[in-house]
Amino acid sequence: MKKTILLLPLLFSVNAFAVENPCLNGCTLQQINAYNKANYKTTEQILREADELEADMDKQWLEEKRKAEARRDTLPPPLQKEAGQTYETCASRVYEKASEIIGDNAKNYIIVTVEGDDLDNCNVTFDVKTFGEACEYLSELSAIAKPHFTTAEYCRFLAEEMEVLKDYRGIVATPAFTQSVQLERDARLMPIYKKHDENVSKLLDKWEKQQKQNQKLQKP
């Protein structure tokens, strides 16, 4: 049967660019019609799928925000410093050393919290900030202060997430970032998020058990 050159207007349905074009090398008119019919989506379907995807991404964002707040709540209260104070503290000493490691003001990358104010006997904990810019220095920073109990897991999660996201960095917000590509990216991210949630839950359970154990030991 004679093949015809792909007629672009026939494939300009609202979902035409969401899948690979099987008629790239030509199709019969019958094949084109069958392809369009099989892949056609109504505007209502597309809007519903977009709403579902947006709701799912919002849910992921809220969950990450919840975990970040939970991590923050488990940190000791930050050291309070009055205006004009310049003397060395446990926190300032860690920030100074961390700045030397990072090569920039460490306060832009980590959060330092302290229990006790004796320079020779204080418990210092640090956590990386939202996007984990300090994760690459985690080993070096851990040598000068104790990382928060979820910090290593958070950095591991970010590394896995970024490994996936880098494959889409050049096409986000371009016509090439179609709905099918977005769904593909989200499908690859889902198991990473799930693993992270499970690991954080395990770490939190362990921390809570340790806190209860410590309280029992402190009781007379």
116 phi and psi, to 5 degrees? 95, 155
121: which strand partners?
Answer: 118
pLDDT in tens, 5-20: 343 333 433 344 444 5
Instruction: Give the pair of three-digit tokens for residue 132.
Output: 């984990």
Q: Residue range 105-133: average pLDDT? A: 83
Q: Which of 159, 217, 148, 166 is nearest to 192 (CA)?
A: 159
d(CA 181, CA 174): 11
Instruction: Give the pair of three-digit tokens for residue 39.
Output: 């892949």
What pLDDT is stored for residue 186 in this prediction?
A: 94
Quick one: which H or E segment has residue 189?
Answer: helix 179-218
Question: What's 4's DSSP letter?
Answer: B
Q: Which of 30, 49, 45, 39 is nearest to 12 (CA)?
A: 39
pLDDT of 40 over the 50 cut: yes
What pLDDT is stored for residue 54 in this prediction?
A: 67
Q: pLDDT-derived band of residue 130, with 50, 70 and 90 as boundaries?
A: confident
What pLDDT is stored for residue 17 in this prediction?
A: 40
pLDDT in tens, 65-103: 677 666 665 555 554 544 444 456 888 889 999 999 999
The domain spans of the chain are 8-39, 43-73+149-220, 75-147
Q: Residue range 25-36: average pLDDT? A: 67
The single residue listed with the structure tokens 């989506």 is: 41
Chain centroid offset of residue 93 CA: 30
Question: What's 87's DSSP letter?
Answer: S
Chain centroid offset of residue 146 CA: 23
Alpha-carbon torsion, ordered 106, 111, 116, 120, to 10 deg: -30
pLDDT of 1 over the 50 cut: no
What pLDDT is stored for residue 122 in this prediction?
A: 78
